[in-house]
Chain A
Amino acid sequence: MKELKILLVVLAFVGITYYGVEPYAHSVMHKHVEGHDFKYPDLKAAPKGNAEAGKAKVAACAGCHGIEKAGMKAPMDAMASVAAYGVNPPDLSNAGAIYDTKFLVDLMQNPTHATKTKKLAMPPSASSAQDAADIAAYLKSIAPKEVTPKEAYEAACGRCHAMRYAKWTQIGEEPKTKMNIKTGKNPDLMKFNLKVAEYQDHLAKYMGKLPPDLSIIIRARSEDYLKTFVEDPQSQLPGTAMPRVGLTKEGYEKVEAYLEQIGDSSKPKREAIGPWVIGYFVLFTLLAFGWYKSQWKGLKD
């Protein structure tokens, strides 16, 4: 009985300390930001779009964007684009699968409004909401039903954010190269890295600083923070240069899955093995209790 009382006192002090130092202090340091579950309540409802009409109107985008799915090649390669605009305009093949329709319609008419940025390389490109809705419907029609987490990341984030753990750079995945064993150097890799460095140079000038590598962001920020940040960067970092990207809820979940795949790949194993190790020690404790009782029997009144 006495030992139980002692245990409760110890647990009470430990519990209070833990509560104060962890959940409480963190809630004070990081005020809770309410997200909107990717519903974008500030954006107007979009008119119903016609994909056939959109197919004709999408030519307006071809000045900057490629659409591989539709056989439209980007007018400039990544290096020329970044030098001209500060960033490489994305290919729109997967856009219909991951972005919110309301967002796309607003983006095409008023890019800085949709992305909540002060300036953006993309100019207003649709003259009416109907035009924008038609183009959005067309993009949706050519997009695959499902994209992989990797594809979602590369489309929505990959032109600004590198991911070294996945060998992903802003200009694409690092190619397989061979070192020249006579010189000990790898000129092909060096040329690629030089291009990446130049791209990042332009990007950093355009954004104000280089968007961080997201290899391990899944462990550097809470689940809640990442969700509300991607939904609306201004809500967590007011004044940030990062644009709101307009992902749908499912689109974000794909991106989050990829972040976890690259940044916390041991999580499935951890959660699989955990119960076994803890179970082992529960059994260990039971056996130890048996030994302890057998040793102390008859020693005390």
Chain B
Amino acid sequence: MAHFDPNAKPFSNKWLNERLAVDTLKRVLSTEYWIPKNINFLWAMGMVLAVTFGLLLVSGIFLLMYYLPDTKQAFDSVNYTIMQEVGYGWLWRHIHGVAASVVFLIIYIHMFTGIYYGSYKRGRELIWISGMLLFVSFSAEAFSGYMLPWGQMSYWAGMVITNLFSLGSLELNGLVEWIRGDYVPGQAFLGRFFMLHVLLMPLIIIALIVLHFGTLRLPHVNNQDGEEIDFEAEAEKWKAGNRKEAKVIPFNPVFLSKDVFVMGVYFVIFFYLVFYNFEFAMDPVNFDPADPLKTPPHIYPEWYFLWSYEILRPFGKDAGLMWFGFAQVIFFLLPFLDRSPYVAPANRRRPFRCWFWILLIDMVALTILGKLPPEGIFTTLGTIFAYLFIALWFALPFITKMEKLVGGKK
């Protein structure tokens, strides 16, 4: 039964506590939200992602004021109105384009940090799965966003990716046309991807972020040694003033101070890219207006999709699609394919350590090859690395079953 003191001053701490439990919220979400002390800067990637998403939202809001989702006006609304007429319009567009690309770099670093430290097992399976759902949602958000400027790359990427849904020999052309709302990407296509990009996907992403935080709550954040920490006991040590002995730190202000420092470094690099080196994110090909009668000599997806695009290439139509689908889904299964009970950094798990570095090198190789034209040595290498990717995932259950833990604390 809530108790309300008639003498409490309105909007005072006591008054707010009676109505909103502000002190409890502060404790639970901030000053007594316990994070392990044994972490490194990679642990800041989550906050970096949240802040980058915030940048995308804010810059997106200003772009949305002037963007026109009409195939005849979209290109000029972006490249003339926003880039050249609107006060600081160019700044929002550059921020939005660069952030959309950099967010995937941070996602991959965040993902591979999780894989390296085993942060997907022993109670953390749903953190991993909700994170992978976020990856898929961000991919859909990025793809839908890329359609909007209606440049050559927008149009032809739209054409190629929606063609995938014909599902090879199944020839589901009706499905492809239904997705597009027309025979080819046109006004209907632009309209629905605008809706997805501006409303539906952001709502889904926000809901998934809340879920991701929720799944983190009980298992708590992992630490560099994979040590299972008794958070309640360690929290008591901290609260008793035993800050050096305690294995945990409060989120606010201790963990946050490290987060903010890492963010500062990130922003220096980020804004350097925004002002001086943005072509990796704003490809020149998309500065040609969409032309349904002319395919650009080189079409390629954005860099973060290249590795899975490359897996599609070495195989025939149906096999390619199958392995492409495999690549999208297989990461979800990581917690269940890893048969070892140990939560430890990869350098202490043999042979998982090899598996990790080979996978990382393989994905970098697939990414680079995905950009290169499918000729000569590039095709050969692409085939090798694609098969290697598949083999790695099939091997995972076997190599983790016979895993040996070495060194360090258990």
B257 touches A295 (CB 8 A): yes
Number of residues in A with C-beta < 8 Å to the partner? 52
B79, B89, B265, B367: the one contacting A20 at CB < 8 Å is: B367
In the assembled complex, the CB of B231 is this many whole angstroms from the nearest CB of chain A, namely 17
B373 touches A270 (CB 8 A): no
Most chain B beta-carbon neighbours within 10 Å: one of A28, A165, A273, A292? A292
- The residue of chain A having its C-beta at the shortest distance from the C-beta of B224 within the complex is A2
Answer yes or no: A32 CB below 8 A from chain B CBs: no
Main secondary structure of the interface of A (DSSP, over half): helix
Answer yes or no: B368 CB below 8 A from chain A CBs: yes
Answer yes or no: A181 CB below 8 A from chain B CBs: no
A299 touches B371 (CB 8 A): no
A28-B372, A274-B275, A278-B275 given; A295·B83 CB < 8 A: no
B80, B260, B267: the one contacting A215 at CB < 8 Å is: B80
Q: Return chain B residues, CB-CB under 8 Å to A14.
A: 105
Q: Return chain A residues, CB-CB under 8 Å to B364.
A: 13, 16-17, 20
Measured CA separation A219–B372 after assembly (Å): 22
Number of residues in B with C-beta < 8 Å to the partner? 52
A266-B83, A277-B271 given; A288·B260 CB < 8 A: yes
In the assembled complex, the CB of A96 is this many whole angstroms from the nearest CB of chain B, namely 33
A270 touches B90 (CB 8 A): yes
In the assembled complex, the CB of B259 is this many whole angstroms from the nearest CB of chain A, namely 9
A29 touches B373 (CB 8 A): yes
A289 touches B261 (CB 8 A): yes
A7, A284, A298, A299: the one contacting B41 at CB < 8 Å is: A7
Measured CA separation A292–B258 after assembly (Å): 5
Binary interface encoding of chain B residues 71-85 relative to chain A, with 1 for a CB under 8 A from any of its CBs, else 0: 000001001100110
Would you list 5 pairs from A and B whose C-beta atoms are within 8 A, ordered by A residue? A10-B42, A25-B368, A277-B271, A281-B268, A291-B253
Chain A residues with a Cβ under 8 A of chain B: 2-3, 6-7, 10, 13-14, 16-18, 20-22, 24-25, 28-29, 164-165, 212, 215-217, 219-222, 265-266, 269-271, 273-274, 277-278, 281-282, 284-286, 288-289, 291-292, 294-296, 298-301
Chain B residues with a Cβ under 8 A of chain A: 37, 40-42, 76, 79-80, 83-84, 89-91, 94, 105, 109, 243-244, 249, 253-254, 257-258, 260-261, 263-265, 267-268, 271-272, 274-276, 279-280, 282, 284-285, 287-288, 297-298, 303, 306, 360, 364, 367-368, 371-373
